[in-house]
Structure 1
Amino acid sequence: MSTTKQALSWFRNVALIEGLSLIVLLTFSVLKRTTTYAWAVLGVQYIGMAHGLLFIAYVYLLWACASKYRWNWRRVALFLFASIIPFAPFFVERKLKDEMHG
C-alpha cells in the first residue's frame, strides 16, 4: 500500500473497530439493565472507556482524512453521523475499502 493511502487505511480500520465496540457496548448496556450479572457492569465500564477512545480516534482520523483528501463537508458530516449509529461504521469502512482498491 502506498503511503498516500495510509491515513485512509487507518481510518478504515478504526471505523471497523469503533463500530464493533459500539455494538459490544450496547449489548453490555442492555445486559446491565436487564440482568443481575455483575460482569455486565464491568463490561459497560471497560468497553465504554475503550469505545470512547476509539470514537476520539475515529473523529481525529476523519478530520485528518478530510484535510488530506479534501473531502466535502457533506461527506464529513455523513461519516461523523455514521459514528453514532449502530452498524453504520461498517458502511463507512466498506466505502473506504472500495475507494482504496478502486
Structure 2
Amino acid sequence: MFPLGLLRLFSILDGLSFVILLYFSIYEKRILGNEDAIRTPGMIHGVIFCAFVILLFFSWDKYKWSLKRAGLVFVCALIPFAPFFLEPSLKREQNSPS
C-alpha cells in the first residue's frame, strides 16, 4: 500500500476536506458571520495537504515518475474536485504489475 495507496487515500481526503472547507468558508463564515468557522477545518485540510505532498515526493521517487506526472498530481491537489478525477489513474497504476 505504501506509498501509492496512501497517496490515493490522502488525495481523496484532500478533496473531501477542501469541499468541507469551502462549505465552512462560504456558509458558516460569510453567510452566518461566524469568524472562527474555518479555523479547525482549515487546519485539518492543511495537515492533510502537507501529508499529501510528502507522500507525493515518496511516490515520485519510488515509481520514478517524470516531473510532468508528479506536477500533474500536485496540480490536481490544488484544483477543486480534481482529486476525484485523479483517483482512477492512481488506482490503475497501483494495480498494474511493476
Q: Same fold (TM over 0.5)?
A: yes
**Of 78, 84, 92, which aligns to 1:84?**
78
Aligned to 1:21: 17
Q: How does 1:1-102 map to 2 (within 5 A)?
A: 5-31=1-27, 32-33=29-30, 35-36=31-32, 38=34, 41-102=35-96
Unpaired segments ≥5 residues, structure 2: none
User: Aligned pair count?
Assistant: 95
What CA deviation, in whole Å up to 9, does each residue of 1:6-36 have, x standing for no partner?
2110100000001100111011111111x12
Structure 2 residue identity aligned to 1:85: I
> Over aligned residues, Cα RMSD in angstroms?
1.4
Unpaired segments ≥5 residues, structure 1: none
TM-score normalised to the size of structure 1? 0.85
Would the aligned equivalents of 1:18 and 1:51 in 2 still touch at CA under 8 Å? Answer: yes
Identical positions, percent: 38
- Per the TM alignment, residue 43 of structure 1 is displaced from its structure 2 partner at its CA by 3.6
- Per the TM alignment, residue 89 of structure 1 is displaced from its structure 2 partner at its CA by 1.0
Would the aligned equivalents of 1:25 and 1:43 in 2 still touch at CA under 8 Å? Answer: no
TM-score normalised to the size of structure 2? 0.88
The ranges of structure 1 where at least 4 consecutive aligned residues each deviate by more than 4 angstroms after the TM superposition are: none
- Per the TM alignment, residue 37 of structure 1 is displaced from its structure 2 partner at its CA by 5.2
